[in-house]
């Protein structure tokens, strides 16, 4: 958190995600790089004092909150608004799969992306440095999302997918 405090004073954007649910924070990987912003983790209904201090001391003009109200509640969003003059932008879909897609589209393109199992975090977490290095968003999937992924590939002229994990 000391690193975040040092870096957050220089950035104009902060990225916020649930620290209780890994999916949205992992999906923010490339957004944070593009914005040169730290990812701050909050609880669904609370902001830890150390994170609150970072938000208060930052000069951010934009705060992106990843995920819907089940990840970061409206109450937590309102509390962030009370301690910052920044514009607050919620980026969320109906579920973690849609949220990852929305974040990927907002902060880059989908010609190349990493595909990881959205039901468990180890694969997505382990590939995050590679995705970051290659400037590729991480999309999440599960066996029920085959058509969802096929449609993404079709709609975005995808040329390369890096799939991580087992069957």
* Chain segment 98-150, per-residue pLDDT in tens: 999 999 998 888 999 999 999 988 998 999 999 988 989 999 998 888 899 99
pLDDT at 167: 67
The enclosing H or E element of 2 equals helix 2-8
What are phi and psi for residue 22, nearest 5 degrees?
-70, -30
* Chain segment 46-55, per-residue pLDDT in tens: 999 999 999 9
Mark residue 65 as left, alpha or beta (left: phi above 0; alpha: psi -120 to 50; beta: remaining).
beta
pLDDT at 9: 53
Res. 2 pLDDT band, cuts 50 70 90 = very low
Res. 29 pLDDT band, cuts 50 70 90 = confident
pLDDT at 117: 92
* Torsion angle of the four alpha carbons 13, 115, 91, 1, in this order, in degrees rounded to the nearest 10: -40
pLDDT at 120: 87
* Chain segment 58-99, per-residue pLDDT in tens: 999 999 999 999 999 999 999 999 999 999 999 999 999 999
Q: What is the mean pLDDT of residues 22-26?
A: 92
Overall pTM surpassing 0.85 (yes/no): yes
Quote helix, strand, coil % in the chain, to nearest 5: 45, 20, 35
pLDDT at 14: 96
């Amino acid at each position: 958190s000391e690193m975040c405090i040092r870096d957050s004073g220089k950035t104009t954007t902060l990225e916020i995600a649930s620290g209780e649910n890994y999916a949205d924070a992992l999906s923010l990987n490339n957004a944070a790089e593009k914005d040169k912003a730290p990812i701050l983790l909050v609880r669904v209904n609370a902001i830890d004092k150390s994170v609150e201090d970072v938000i208060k001391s930052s000069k951010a003009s934009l705060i992106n909150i990843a995920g819907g109200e089940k990840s970061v509640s409206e109450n937590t969003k309102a509390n962030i608004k009370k301690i910052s003059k920044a514009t607050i932008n919620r980026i969320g879909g109906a579920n973690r799969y849609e949220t990852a897609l929305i974040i990927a589209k907002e902060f880059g393109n989908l010609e190349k992306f990493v595909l990881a199992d959205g039901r468990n975090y180890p694969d997505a977490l382990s590939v995050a440095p590679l995705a970051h290095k290659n400037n590729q968003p991480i999309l999440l999937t599960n066996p029920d999302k085959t058509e969802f992924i096929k449609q993404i590939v079709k709609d975005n002229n995808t040329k390369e997918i890096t799939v991580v994990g087992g069957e």
